Chains A and B, each alone.
Chain A
């Protein structure tokens, strides 16, 4: 398959079942909502060492948010319910509760409820108040700038993490430009996040390492600077490879995001040094979800 001179590999991305939730954070203005959201979703690029993968899904207009203020929608993904609950409590407690004027609300009404403000309320030291409004329980925790309003629980659902594709280009600036175009297109879609910095990974990994203590190490098959001494996947002339990792609430969401991202990258085409689109997998034995590139782009 070839799109605008870009070769689409006959391969697939391998992804895993995860647990996910959505939290809406609002504040006096968008600036402070994003301060809170960026902090809460910070250091959450990979479950390998961050505990969860998280990101800002999109901006919320005042008309869309529960309290009529500007805000941001965040998605959190973890490998287990327990870990997701732990990460959520820490991140909302340390990053949203602490952010001036902020409030936090459930972004998923269905699913299994997990604590959002249920335990954070104890920060109120007995002065906290609960309020049941429209069948939903909220906690009002007194803080130094007034009150922190937080919904008691949010919904947790089954989700998919680890959808991905690789962009292979003639040069690093060209690979990055294609990634930026892809991310721009993917961020228009709901229910997905690209958890790495700016949505892009330059250090794709393989499972295992020659060092026993490490569970993952550099994906040497796609590292251009060592292609002469490894079993490289790279043809001569390819100088840079970058990866986009996608977590989504459903496999259909990931498919949609991959399609939009690959299409945007291919729009730049061979004329701009984009040579190939590939994907990362582990032979198909580890992940429950396989995203065939050619099927998605077909």
Chain B
């Protein structure tokens, strides 16, 4: 069976909610049924067939072609299967995802992988603000799974991150790991200002010291931390620069944010 492919006919004037198009929700449905699904778009509800050309029949393997940043909520709440986005994705990519894999060849908007629980989101371009964060008003961000960003991530990356890993090959914006509860964020590039703001626990792993470190993180010195060997080893199978990291255990460690009695750690490879 060939992958069920949605080829975008034209860039929509308004944002389209694509949350109905996941392998879980399309399982067992015929192409004609799928074409008739209404997708919220502004104050209208165009049918899938009006927006996309469809071909293929494998609902466990979806492809969005000619995708653009107005396609929101791709892969929201999906449990299994795979979604491949050729182009950009809009906001809320993989929101609350519970399994499966999403790959985006371009960039994605804000709140990608927000409140995700399991699975893999791989964005080859840049990711917007609030990557892996909690939705406004919610208490916990991403709670499992893994996000890989080939480019840069926006501000507030990993805000209230609870579990799981966010790997950023480029730079991360301001307030990276803000209010982080647990989990791991690794950044190969540089950070914006105020990293680890109100961080409670978890690990922010960096390759170099930022220009300015928050005053409320205590310098604990340079150490050999064995868990890093296991962590880096677990990335070896990834299609990412992280797979080629040397498994060095020697890091400089800062703990904070002491302003909220936090014991989060920022580690810098020495």
Contact with B along A194-223 (1 / 0, CB 8 A): 000000000000000000000000000000
Residue of B163, B225, B234 near A147 (CB, 8 A) is B225
Residues of chain A within 8 A of B234, CB atoms compared: 133-134
Q: How far is the CB of B118 from chain A (nearest CB, A)?
A: 10
Min CB gap A283→B, angstroms: 50
Contact with B along A223-246 (1 / 0, CB 8 A): 000000000000000000000000
Whether A67 and B226, one on each chain, are in contact in the complex, defined by CB atoms closer than 8 angstroms, is yes
Partner of A133, one of B201, B227, B247: B227
Chain A residues contacting B229 (CB-CB under 8 Å) are 67-68
Binds B, one of A12-20, A123-131, A270-278: A123-131
> In the docked arrangement, what's the CA distance between A126 and B261, Å?
11
Q: A206 to chain B: closest CB distance in Å?
A: 48
- CB of B226 within 8 A of CB of A147, answer yes
Contact B203 A131 (CB under 8 A): yes
A122 nearest CB across to chain B (Å): 15
Q: Which residues does chain A contribute within 8 Å of B224, judged by CB atoms?
A: 146
Q: Any chain B CB within 8 A of the CB of A103?
A: yes
Which B residue sits closest to A151, measured CB to CB?
Answer: B230
Indicate whether A96 reaches chain B with its CB closer than 8 angstroms. no
Contact call B163/A129, Cβ cutoff below 8 A: no
Least Cβ–Cβ distance between A117 and chain B, in angstroms: 12
> B231 in the interface, Cβ–Cβ < 8 Å?
yes
Cα–Cα distance between A133 and B163 once the two chains are bound (Å): 11
Instruction: Report the bound CA distance from A131 to B229 in whole Å.
Output: 12
With contacts A129-B201, A131-B184 taken as known, whether A149 is within 8 angstroms of B227 at the C-beta atoms is: yes
In terms of DSSP, what is the predominant structure of the interface of chain B?
Answer: mixed
Interface residues on B, range: 10 to 19
Q: Please name all residues of chain A whose beta carbon is closer than 8 Å to the beta carbon of B164 when the two chains form the complex.
A: 132
Give, as a whole number of angstroms, the nearest-CB distance from A159 to chain B. 28
Identify which of A103, A127, A132, A138 contacts B263 (C-beta below 8 A).
Answer: A127
For window 159-184 of A, CB contacts with B under 8 Å fall at: none
Task: Return A205 CB to nearest CB of chain B, in Å.
Answer: 43
A5 at the interface (CB under 8 A from B): no
Chain B 197-234 interface 0/1 with A at a Cβ cutoff of 8 Å (1 = within)? 00001010000000000000000000111110111011
With A67-B229, A68-B229, A103-B226 given, is the CB distance from A129 to B265 under 8 Å?
yes
CA gap between A129 and B184 in the complex, in Å: 12
Q: Considering the complex, which residues of chain B in the window 42-86 have a beta carbon less than 8 Å from any beta carbon of chain A? A: none
**Chain A residue total in the interface (Cβ 8 A):** 17
Residue pair A149, B226 in contact (C-beta under 8 Å): yes
Distance from A156 Cβ to chain B, minimum over Cβ atoms (Å): 22
Measured between alpha carbons, how far is A147 from B263 in the docked complex, in Å?
A: 15
Interface assignment of B182: CB less than 8 Å from any CB of chain A:
yes
Q: Which of B163, B229, B263 has the most CB atoms of chain A within a 10 A radius of its CB?
A: B229
Residues in chain A near residue B265, CB distance under 8 A: 129
In the assembled complex, the Cα of A68 lies from the Cα of B224 at a distance in Å of: 14
B203 CB contacts on chain A under 8 angstroms: 129, 131
Interface residues of A in 91-144 (CB under 8 A from B): 103, 126-127, 129-134, 138, 140
CA distance A66 to B230 in the complex (A): 7
Residues of B within 8 Å of A67, CB to CB, are 226, 229-230
| Residues of chain B with a CB closer than 8 A to A147's CB | 223, 225-227
Contact A146 B227 (CB under 8 A): no
Quick one: closest A residue to B249, CB to CB?
A67
Q: Compute how far the CA of A126 lies from the CA of B184 in the bound complex, rounded to whole angstroms.
A: 19
Within the complex, the shortest CB–CB distance from B182 to chain A, in Å, comes to: 7
Closest to A138 in B: B227
Min C-beta distance of A36 to chain B, whole Å: 14
Are B263 and A133 in contact (CB-based, < 8 A)? Answer: no
Contact A131 B201 (CB under 8 A): no
**Of the residues A126, A129, A130, A133, contact of B230 by C-beta under 8 Å:** A133
Cα distance A140–B225 in the bound complex, in angstroms: 9
> B223 — which chain A residues lie within 8 A by C-beta?
146-147
Q: A147 CA to B220 CA in the complex, in Å?
A: 13
With CB as the reference atom, state the residue of chain B lying closest to A135.
Answer: B234
A130 to B163, CA, bound (A): 10
Q: What CA separation (Å) do A132 and B225 show in the bound complex? A: 15
User: Chain A residue with minimal CB distance to B224?
Assistant: A146
Q: Is the CB of B225 within 8 A of A146?
A: yes
Please, which residue of chain A has its CB at the minimum distance from the CB of B230?
A133
**9 A-B pairs with the lowest CB-CB distances in the bound complex, closest first:** A134-B234, A149-B226, A133-B230, A133-B234, A67-B229, A131-B227, A149-B227, A133-B231, A140-B227
Q: List 13 A-B contacts (CB under 8 A).
A: A68-B229, A103-B226, A129-B201, A131-B203, A132-B163, A133-B227, A133-B231, A140-B227, A146-B224, A146-B225, A147-B225, A147-B226, A149-B226
A residues engaging B (CB < 8 A)?
66-68, 103, 126-127, 129-134, 138, 140, 146-147, 149
- Given A131-B184, A140-B227, 12 additional A-B pairs, CB 8 A: A67-B230, A68-B229, A68-B247, A127-B263, A129-B201, A129-B263, A129-B265, A130-B182, A133-B231, A134-B230, A147-B223, A149-B227
